[in-house]
Amino acid sequence: MEISQLKAKVLAEAAENFSRVEEVSEFNTLKVLTAMRELKVSDAHFKTSTGYAYGDIGREKLEELFAAVFKAESALVRTQFVSGTHALATVLFGILRPGDELVSVTGEPYDTMQTVIGWKNPARGSLKEFGVGYREIALRDGRVDFDAIRNSVTAKTKIALIQRSRGYSMRAPLTVSDIEKICAAVKSANANCATFVDNCYGEFVETREPVEAGADIIAGSLIKNIGGGLAPTGGYIVGRKDLVELASYRLTAPGMGAELGASLGTPRLLFQGLFMAPHVTAQALKAAIFAAGIFSALGFRVSPLPTEIRADIIQAIELKSAERLIKFCRAVQEFSPVDSFAAPEPWDMPGYEDQVIMAAGTFVQGASIELSADGPLREPFTVFLQGGLTFEHAAAAILHAAEKISSND
């Protein structure tokens, strides 16, 4: 079947899943809108601040808004976070002390988190150098091992790390219901252990967020789902007030915490990005479903399958060769609105064990809520496709990638 004919077939088969995505988007849009109305967000909150930025009403209102949307006690939302990994590391270094133990209950964490932890990939300044203990609870057949969690989390365990998304793996991402069960298992073993969720790529995919399911604290990036394609940089931390406060002392300095941090020219973009985020996330989810349908029909292993319920915006496609992986990423770059003329090359990206190739012709550098594709050059040469500010653009790029993969040139 020609690629053009395949498009119509895949779209027809995706109709039910698309409808489900739109219902979730509608729910989350109303959730954000209600919070903005109840908190009386105003044009006055879009004004910029400089220097120490004491008494920045826009920054304070934005953090109040994030806390309300996530159903949390407190929030720290700052452009001073350079990435999602930075926000996650801020939580870990803010809460953990020498002699404490961190346990990853969802197996091996994402590559950049491994350098933060420092046990598999030693790095200067890692948690290991600060005397923090670490253990992993391996997945069983790609699934969370609840019995092992109950048996392995001890009175010494200070934080249980839960990675919601798949990272560079083919394991299934976690639903909020999965996270709820994990939090319950951790608390049954140690009620004082903080449950910490890496929420990257998962925001607004469902109608609930992890704090509503028992997570004590969560963190993520503003240039993924929650920034709506408008946030120019930054990250967020939301959760229990005492834990967010500890993280704030790591972001700035002990005793200063969240009281400082200039907004410069970003406030309106962050407010508007949050407002747009449920809709933009829905566009990205439709793109992922469409890509799953196209490449599954072409005979490639995909995860999730086209008909599966989504827990994050990432679509994994096993391409089985470095040549196809490079060809796929270059095809996505060719159909990007920015730097379409560039040809991505594998490179030694900081924080990654293998060379990584990345297509990201994005308005915000590295923004993975915009259409992007990347993957490590290691077996089985899986490409991880995510994002799409509009489904129309994402579908065109996906079809172009399919044509390139199917051709011999």
Burial class of 131 by CB neighbour count within 10 A (0 to 12, 13 to 18, 19+)? exposed
Does 99 lie in the same domain as 21? Answer: no
Question: Is the residue at 34 inside a domain?
Answer: no
Largest CA distance in the chain: 65
* pLDDT class of 408 with cuts at 50, 70, 90: low
Q: How many domains does the chain have?
A: 2
Does 282 lie in the same domain as 389? Answer: yes
Structure-block tokens of residue 406: 């199917």
Question: Is the residue at 78 inside a domain?
Answer: yes
In 3D space, the residue among 222, 239, 225, 383 whose CA is nearest the CA of residue 301 turns out to be 383
Looking at residue 111, what is its pLDDT? 85
Does 246 lie in the same domain as 123? Answer: yes
Does 281 lie in the same domain as 201? Answer: no
pLDDT at 121 over 80: no
Does 301 lie in the same domain as 365? Answer: yes
Looking at residue 1, what is its pLDDT? 63
* pLDDT class of 68 with cuts at 50, 70, 90: very high
Average pLDDT, stretch 51-60?
A: 96
Helices (H) and strands (E) in the chain, counts: 11, 12
Does 397 lie in the same domain as 344? Answer: yes
Does 258 lie in the same domain as 303? Answer: no
Tell me the H-state helices in 156-224.
176-189
Determine the Cα–Cα distance for residues 376 and 384; give it in Å rounded to an integer: 9
Of the residues 218, 248, 265, the one at which a domain ends: 265
Of the residues 214, 244, 265, the one at which a domain ends: 265
* pLDDT class of 5 with cuts at 50, 70, 90: confident
Least confident of 4-8, 181-185, 219-223: 4-8
Does 196 lie in the same domain as 129? Answer: yes
Of the residues 214, 246, 265, the one at which a domain ends: 265
Looking at residue 152, what is its pLDDT? 93
Question: Is the residue at 96 inside a domain?
Answer: yes
Question: Is the residue at 131 inside a domain?
Answer: yes
Does 280 lie in the same domain as 260? Answer: no
In 3D space, the residue among 358, 98, 372, 96 whose CA is nearest the CA of residue 243 turns out to be 96
Does 106 lie in the same domain as 166? Answer: yes
Determine the Cα–Cα distance for residues 398 and 283; give it in Å rounded to an integer: 14
pTM (two decimals): 0.96
Output the domain CATH number for residue 380: 3.90.1150.60
What tens digit of pLDDT does each residue of 333-356 get?
A: 999 999 999 999 998 887 777 899
- Residue 333: which domain range? 3-27+274-406
pLDDT at 394 over 90: yes
pLDDT at 409 over 60: no
Average pLDDT, stretch 19-48?
A: 98
Does 107 lie in the same domain as 20? Answer: no
- For residue 303, the surrounding DSSP H or E stretch is strand 302-303
Question: Is the residue at 40 inside a domain?
Answer: no
Q: Which residues contact 35 (CB under 8 A, 6 or more apart)?
A: 65, 68, 69
Does 289 lie in the same domain as 234? Answer: no
Output the domain CATH number for residue 247: 3.40.640.10
Question: Is the residue at 294 inside a domain?
Answer: yes
